[in-house]
Each structure stands twice: as structure tokens, then as C-alpha cells.
Amino acid sequence: MKLIAAIKKFFSRKEKEKEKALASLKFEVDSAGDIWIDCSWQDQPAANIIFADLMYKVMDGELFAETLSFIKEECEKRNKLDNFIEIWAYLHTMEQELNEEEASEASEDSTVVSPTKMLDIYKPKIIPDDEHLI
């Protein structure tokens, strides 16, 4: 079963059926912008490892594309595609800002001059014009 199909199946179940899930990880945001996290796993062998796998996939970004696809489909079903476009645009902007920040940090790191380049930079100041003296 493809991952997106599993996600759809999970989210389309009734509340009673969701209680049978082996593991869950839930994020909520309140009006103050505080993020609340809830998690659970069944008292069954390896359910905690299944939870750890879920957590890793969420935190590593492995589920990002599948989740975005699911959200798009749900928005289309509810005739709220404009909501999805706004979500996508926001995520795209955040990604661009992160890339710009990483590029800026990388360029700051690259201002360190290699010791072998130091001679090239200061050579005109310390070496006479007479090349045969080198």
C-alpha cells in the first residue's frame, strides 16, 4: 500500500476506529500560536518503535510531499483550493527564506581565507617587484 493511501485511509476513519491506531503523533496550534503536541502508542510489542518510525518520518520531512498531496486533495474535495494555494505559497516562502539564510551563512563561512591564499593576497606588499628574488 502506498504511503499516501495509508494516510488517506487513516484520516478517513471514524473517531472510534482511530483509537485502534498503533501509534499517533498530533500537533495543534492555539490562538496564541502555542504548539501543543500529543502522542500515543498501543501497549503492544514494538508499538513504541512504530511510533519512533512515525516520528522520524515526520521530523525528517519524509512525509512532507505525501502530506501536501493529501491536503491538496482534501481542499479540492471541499472546494477550498484557494486555501491550499495559500498554504503552498506560505511553505514556499518559508523554504526560500531558509535557503537564503543558509546561503548567507555559507558565504559568511567562506570569508575565511585559506593560509595558502594569504601569500597571494599579501605578496605585492611583502615581495619586491624583482621576481628573481622569490
Task: Tell me what pLDDT residue 105 has.
Answer: 75
- Give the pLDDT band (50/70/90) at residue 129: low
- Say yes or no: 110 and 74 in one domain: no
The Cα 54–Cα 73 span in angstroms is: 22
- Say yes or no: 17 and 38 in one domain: yes
- Say yes or no: 70 and 93 in one domain: no
- Say yes or no: 88 and 106 in one domain: yes
Task: Tell me what pLDDT residue 104 has.
Answer: 78
Task: Tell me what pLDDT residue 20 has.
Answer: 80
Task: Tell me what pLDDT residue 110 has.
Answer: 59
- Say yes or no: 13 and 29 in one domain: yes
- Say yes or no: 4 and 42 in one domain: yes
- Say yes or no: 62 and 128 in one domain: no
Pairing of β 23-29 and β 35-41? antiparallel
pLDDT: which is higher, 106 or 92: 92
pLDDT in tens, 39-86: 999 999 999 999 999 999 999 888 988 999 999 999 999 999 999 999
pLDDT in tens, 45-56: 999 999 999 999
Assess contact for 27 and 35: CB atoms under 8 A: yes
Assess whether pLDDT exceeds 70 at residue 10.
no
> Domains in the chain: how many in total?
2
Task: Tell me what pLDDT residue 34 has.
Answer: 95
One DSSP character per residue, 115-132 reads HHHHHHHHHHHHS-S-GG
Which residue is listed with cell 575565511? 112
- Give the pLDDT band (50/70/90) at residue 103: confident
Domain of 69 in residue numbering reads as 1-79
- Say yes or no: 57 and 88 in one domain: no
- Say yes or no: 98 and 109 in one domain: yes
